[in-house]
């Protein structure tokens, strides 16, 4: 299965309703600059129709995060993003209380005030700091919740996600249970750096994205880089494909293909010959060892 696009447009279509069918997904995502295929369009539609989180897995740079952005733009929804990382905890993902503000309130409280009353006051809505998961659950408007790079978070975080995604509710001991009035569209991305738990996968629909076929990547470049000639776009994506086949640390992403096309236009180049590749290789290869290997394997001279 191939990736579909690298970005969403600046304007959403006039129709902000939920997707009516896979064909509607395909049409409306294309309108915001994200080109899909049948599998992507069908899986996105089913995730919405069944109210299931969508787990999108694949190498970095194939359009996983951009899919969430495109869905949000196409539906006129707010995008709420939880960026996962090692050490992420409940306080950063769900909620915490504003301890500094609480301390100031305690210090300002009169001496004859009962502690229980002060306690109840400082553990109120006024002192609550909502983080992405709670914010997504409490929104009443259309929302896309992006849980990005879930494989970078500690295994313990998956337990928290299971609880939230099973019932779409959060229990705050001091305030009670907050349940979603309107379930967000949840999209979880993973670069497959580690295996996610089977329990989490069972709760999700699954979509694997890979680097696109040359024809599709050419179409993406043509859509995202106005003014580039089709022949140059085709030459560029063939070269990018060759680079991806090398044993390098970081294969060029779709976004870097688009950047490369914009670079060629900025330099006024109408052909990606060996000299042009050598001059602009840093746009797509960001490691010295990768550039050295490309120069050697492709027989470049500079």
pLDDT digits (tens, 9 = 90+) for 161-174: 988 888 888 888 88
pLDDT tens-digit readout, 144-196: 999 999 999 988 888 889 888 888 888 888 888 888 889 999 999 999 889 99
Half-sphere exposure at residue 40, Cβ-oriented, CA atoms within 13 angstroms: 28
Instruction: Flag whether pLDDT at 15 surpasses 70.
Output: no
**pLDDT band at 123; cut points 50, 70, 90:** confident
Half-sphere exposure at residue 142, Cβ-oriented, CA atoms within 13 angstroms: 12
Q: How far apart are CA 98 and CA 144, in angstroms?
A: 26
Lowest mean pLDDT among 66-70, 128-132, 210-214, 225-229: 128-132
pLDDT value, residue 110: 61
pLDDT tens-digit readout, 17-52: 899 999 999 999 999 989 999 999 999 999 999 999
pLDDT value, residue 73: 96
Cβ atoms < 10 Å from Cβ of 137: 24
């Amino acid at each position: 299965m191939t990736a579909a696009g690298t970005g969403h447009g600046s304007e959403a279509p006039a129709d902000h309703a939920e997707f009516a069918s896979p064909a509607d997904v395909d049409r409306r995502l294309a309108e915001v600059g994200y080109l899909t295929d049948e599998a992507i369009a069908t899986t996105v539609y089913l995730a919405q129709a069944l109210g299931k989180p969508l787990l999108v897995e694949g190498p970095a740079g194939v359009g996983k995060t951009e899919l969430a952005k495109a869905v949000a733009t196409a539906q006129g929804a707010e995008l709420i993003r939880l960026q996962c990382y090692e050490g992420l905890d409940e306080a950063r993902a769900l909620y915490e209380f504003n301890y500094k503000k609480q301390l100031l309130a305690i210090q300002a409280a009169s001496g004859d005030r009962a502690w229980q009353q002060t306690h109840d006051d400082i553990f109120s809505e006024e002192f609550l700091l909502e983080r992405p998961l709670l914010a997504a659950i409490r929104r009443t408007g259309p929302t896309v919740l992006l849980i990005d790079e879930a494989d970078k978070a500690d295994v313990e975080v998956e337990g928290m996600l299971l609880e939230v995604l099973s019932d779409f509710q959060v229990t705050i001991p001091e305030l009670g249970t907050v349940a979603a009035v309107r379930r967000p569209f949840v999209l979880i991305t993973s670069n497959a750096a580690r295996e996610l738990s089977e329990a989490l996968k069972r709760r999700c629909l699954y979509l694997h994205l890979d680097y696109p076929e040359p024809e599709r990547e050419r179409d993406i470049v043509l859509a995202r880089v106005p003014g580039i000639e089709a022949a140059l776009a085709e030459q560029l994506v063939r070269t990018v494909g060759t680079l991806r086949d090398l044993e390098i640390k970081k294969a060029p992403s779709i976004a870097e293909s688009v950047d490369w096309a914009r670079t060629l236009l900025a330099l006024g180049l109408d052909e990606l010959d060996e000299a042009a590749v050598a001059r602009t290789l840093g746009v797509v290869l960001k490691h010295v060892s990768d550039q050295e290997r490309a120069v050697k394997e492709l027989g470049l001279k500079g």
